[in-house]
A and B are shown apart, each in its own frame.
Chain A
Amino acid sequence: MRYLVTFARFCWEFIVGDDWIVAAGIVIAFGATGLLAHHHMAAWWVMPSAALLLLGISLWRATRRTSR
């Protein structure tokens, strides 16, 4: 059991890292892209916009802690 918990923690840190908002945002962006593509609308712009938006939010969250 202890090894399973350690492995799960390792996977979380490896993939999700320091900010879970980024991972959650990527999943939402997948959904939005898939939805637009399904309705034959231009969907290519969603992922690059989401990546930059998530990077900005994550940096704001990280630096807010030290700027207070």
Chain B
Amino acid sequence: MSITFLFLAAFVACAVEMVEALTIVLAVGTTRGWRSALIGTAAAALSLAMIIAVLGPALTRVPINDLRLLVGGLLLAFGLQWLRKAILRASGYKALHDEETIFANEIEHARTAAGGVRGGLDWYSFTLSFKGVFLEGLEVAFIVLSFSGRRGGVAVAAMAAALALLIVLAAGVLVRAPLARVPENTLKFAVGAMLTTFGVFWAAEGAGASWPGGDTALLAILALNLLASLTLVYVLRRRRALPSSASVIAAGTEGGQH
């Protein structure tokens, strides 16, 4: 049960991050040419592979309870950040993440940016693609490595990430446009709830607690997180509807890509 749950959490989390990276690469590639954009993407993928190759084996040497405490804490921090933003978006306090708007903005920037071609490379395209793929990919890498709290978890999460990469890449090649139809905000809500659930579960085990019912406690924690989050969305929507409420937090006033 927990393997399926873990696979699903890793798959959706990775797919969401890859959709964001794809939007940047597509915008740069269609505006300024594919060569430099693809070289930047490949360089970022290689850098990420090296980070995973170094950190992955190092994690297997950490005692399992210490590892659970560490990765549980990280997953909880990520999960609560994702949930917080998803709830703010769902309740109207923060602008919705819109891949079409981001794509249009990136294209405008790419068109107006000065072209510095050196050594056969358009460095603007290379840097933007590298940065986009590396930063979004780093989050994927951390999520995959965080699933080392369960034995064999990294392998399952890595398979989920690979499948997500294949599907997002295939969709990107087919449509050659941002994947605006992906219900990104809903997916982020679900990912936030799942990452928080695993974070709570492993962090408590790592700190020395035992769960009543073992792995089945995961389902109860997930249900509790979803129920509490939906209640918070309802409460915040009602509060926002009151006459004293002010405007939406402008998109971009808060950092992070979640």
B77 touches A51 (CB 8 A): no
B52-60, B97-105, B221-229: which lies at the interface? B221-229
Query: Which chain A residues numbered 1 to 54 have a C-beta less than 8 Å away from chain B?
Result: 13-19, 22-23, 26-27, 29-30, 33-34, 36-38, 42-44, 46-48, 51-52, 54
B256 touches A37 (CB 8 A): no
A43 touches B204 (CB 8 A): yes
A48 touches B76 (CB 8 A): no
B254 touches A18 (CB 8 A): yes
Task: Digitize B187-218: 1 where CB-to-A-CB distance is under 8 Å, 0 elsewhere.
Answer: 00000000010011101100111111000010
B200 touches A48 (CB 8 A): yes
Q: How far is the CB of A44 from chain B (nearest CB, A)?
A: 4
B232 touches A59 (CB 8 A): yes
Interface contact tally, CB-CB below 8 A: 121
Determine if B127 is an interface residue (Cβ-Cβ < 8 Å).
no
Name A's interface SS.
helix
A66 touches B232 (CB 8 A): no
Determine if B165 is an interface residue (Cβ-Cβ < 8 Å).
no
Separation of A27 and B256 alpha carbons in the complex (Å): 21
Question: Which residues on A sit within 8 Å (CB–CB) of B18?
Answer: none
Question: Which residues on B sit within 8 Å (CB–CB) of A66?
Answer: 93, 245-249
Interface residues of B, Cβ cutoff 8 Å to A: 69, 73-74, 76-77, 79-81, 83-85, 87-88, 93, 138-139, 142, 196, 199-201, 203-204, 207-212, 217, 221, 224-225, 228-229, 232, 236, 239-240, 244-249, 254-256, 258
14 additional A-B residue pairs with CB within 8 Å, beyond A33-B208, A62-B84: A15-B74, A18-B254, A33-B203, A33-B207, A34-B208, A37-B209, A44-B209, A44-B212, A47-B200, A47-B203, A52-B228, A56-B232, A59-B232, A66-B247
Interface residues of A, Cβ cutoff 8 Å to B: 13-19, 22-23, 26-27, 29-30, 33-34, 36-38, 42-44, 46-48, 51-52, 54-56, 58-59, 62-63, 65-68
The 7 A-B pairs at the shortest CB distance, nearest first, are namely A37-B208, A33-B207, A43-B209, A47-B204, A17-B81, A34-B207, A44-B209
